Structure 1
Amino acid sequence: KGVSLQLNAGETVFLIGENGSGKSTLFMILAGLYTPQAGEILADGAALKPSDLRAYSNNISAVFSDFYLFDYATGDADIAREWLALTHLKDKVELKGAKFSTTSLSSGQRKRLALVSVLMDGRKFLMLDEFAADLDPQFRAEFYERILPELKSRGYTIFAISHDDKYFGAADKIYKMQRGEISQIK
């Protein structure tokens, strides 16, 4: 069906919609993991060809709703240490060489460590699929009110699937998926 949206550098964009509306499929297409059945993805005004998808997806960091957390870490160790502190994990997890000291954490802590892990890559397009779903209420508020603005201030473009209407003010734009179609509501 008709899906058209625009993401600009430095924006925080939320995608909302009921279960089964097509949010996760669109997420996977935008992440470069699914090929669109019709239409095209434009990046910097140029249509991506299938042969461009790997290079395109290499510019994206994503935390999926169903993610696997590896104990090894790649990327900038200083970024890891900083974000371990900002996500309140520095007392639970250390970076030892190229490995996290543990991944035996609660589901919310594991999700926060997954964020730290992808931020280490330094990619400025961040995709989050229902990231806050496993977070306790206190850190959920902190995520929307402090972490997202901090990421934005550092030049990240954020595309997030969210059901947290209490925090929709954190988004520059909000798109709603409904039966495979999309509309901008903010």
Structure 2
Amino acid sequence: MVRVRLSVTERREELLRAAIEQMAARGVAALRIADVASALGVSNALVLYHFSTKEKLVAAAFTYAAEDDLARLRGLLGRRTSALRRLRSAVRWYAPTGQAKGWRLWIEGWAAALREPALREVTRELDRQWKAALAEVIAEGVAAGEFPCPDPEGAALRLTALLDGLAVQLTSYGGAVSRARAQEWVDEALARELGLDRGALTASRR
């Protein structure tokens, strides 16, 4: 079988997608350059030509995996509707009961980042972008008089911390908390951070 010649960009994307699949199957710590190469039927040298080390490959793969979710988040937060509706949609989507990124992969990534500086910088920057996007819309809602949140940045940090923590509970400890209960806590936390009654979140869907 003759392989189609790919551009540098196309080849990198192919390698990144393969790395993501292998990390999901084997775990981040167990991933080897050889696993990615074997999955695509290419040499280890080709993978190393594009990324030079396993650590750089993993960091790039996590960035690649997050791009779609970040674009989706910005799409939800950028809609032409109230800040409250945008926040509710985004938080519900990002929550581990929603349809955001594969949480198992990210939990493993956070653990690996403790020992891999390149991955740590990537996850820190991605985390900053999530929080900044939420804080910006919270501030818009405050300016528009929709809710009285006194600390948009702090609210964004606390919300994402809760969502990440629930993701660990739901992903790593099956049965520790039901999805329905977790969603209740997410709604309660969002309302509390915005200084609203929880009923306002339901009303925001209308």
TM-score (norm 1): 0.27
Larger RCO (alpha carbons 8 Å, 6+ apart): 1
Task: Report which of the two has the higher share of strand.
Answer: 1
**Greater Cα radius of gyration, structure 1 or 2:** 2
Task: Report which of the two has the higher share of helix.
Answer: 2
TM-score (norm 2): 0.25
